[in-house]
Amino acid sequence: MPAGALPAATPSTARPRLAWTRWPGWLAADLLGIAVIAMLQDHFLYFPERAPVDDMVSAGLRAWPGPDDFRGLVAEPPGPVRATAMVFHGNAGHGGHRDYYAKALAPLGIRVILAEYPAYGPRTGTLGERSFVADAEQSIALARRQFDGPLLLIGESLGAGVAAAVAARQRDHVAAVLLITPWDKLAHLAAHHYPWLPAGWILRDRYDSVANLADFGRPVMVAVAERDTIVPARFGKALHASLGEPRRLAVIDGAGHNDWTRHVDAGWWRDALAFLLPRPD
């Protein structure tokens, strides 16, 4: 053995000792990463787009209730009004990007309110479940003062979580709920996308639609996109399975999370309304 050389380490001694000395550093790095994600979780869930009211208004849509006290956009049907639908959109963009609801439902006699969230579009406020649900309750109260007839809540993706939560609080004022590309519990979806995170511990916003709709007792339709990779269909199916009657599951064949509107037609919407808002005999 050359002078000054050390004997070769054996696998049974050196490697375990090396791993043992390093694991606290690995653990600290993991915990730091989890802490950072926990602090920044709103940036992973909410993607608001700011815009002035004038940029959001388009043909057939006007500011609701008005430009100065803006809470969303409204479209009136060309003929008699059968019901009012309040729509809570997904986590990106703003309500003005969802005019496809007005185009689909207004010809069927449905007044459409595209509700806007706090901190989206021109609105002030804070992001988060508590803020969104409290604001949605205020919008429902205003719609009920202004408009007669049944109120249908529609929620898409994140908006499905909002609609389910506010439906639980406003049960006596909501006729039915349509949830499109929803999850059952946000913690389940987070665990799917980030399996290494203790999602159930760190999530501030829960959006637990299973718990929120447990005793709803009114028609709920769950529509899932067959090829959804953002909110896989199994989460919406799990939500549907947890519901009491009356309930309906609709699988939109061939659709993904963001293109489902291209896979439904006027007949699909008529069938949905026949279930959600059945006409009196």
pTM of the entire predicted model: 0.86
> What was the pLDDT predicted at 24?
55
Residue 10 has pLDDT above 80, yes or no: no
- The answer to whether residues 186 and 205 touch, using CB atoms and an 8 Å cutoff, is yes
> What was the pLDDT predicted at 40?
44
Q: Which domains does the chain have, with CATH numbers?
A: 46-276 (3.40.50.1820)
| Residue 199 binned pLDDT confidence (cut-offs 50, 70, 90) | low
Strand order across the 110-115 sheet: 62-64, 72-75, 110-115, 83-88, 151-156, 176-180, 220-225, 247-252
Residue 121 has pLDDT above 50, yes or no: yes
| Residue 9 binned pLDDT confidence (cut-offs 50, 70, 90) | very low
- Higher-scoring residue by pLDDT: 138, 38: 138
| Residue 233 binned pLDDT confidence (cut-offs 50, 70, 90) | very high
Residue 42 has pLDDT above 70, yes or no: no
- The answer to whether residues 104 and 64 touch, using CB atoms and an 8 Å cutoff, is no
Mean pLDDT of 186-191: 93
Percent of the chain clearing pLDDT 90 (strictly above): 77
Pick the closest to residue 269 from 117, 96, 152, 94 (CA basis).
152
Q: Is the dihedral of CA 262, 264, 266, 270 positive or negative?
A: negative
- Higher-scoring residue by pLDDT: 241, 42: 241
Helix count (H) and strand count (E) of the chain? 11, 10
Give the pair of three-digit tokens for residue 197: 């995170």
Residue 67 has pLDDT above 50, yes or no: yes
Residue 278 has pLDDT above 90, yes or no: yes
> What was the pLDDT predicted at 43?
62
Mean pLDDT of 245-272: 98
Residue 56 has pLDDT above 60, yes or no: yes
Residue 269 has pLDDT above 80, yes or no: yes
Give the pair of three-digit tokens for residue 125: 């406020």
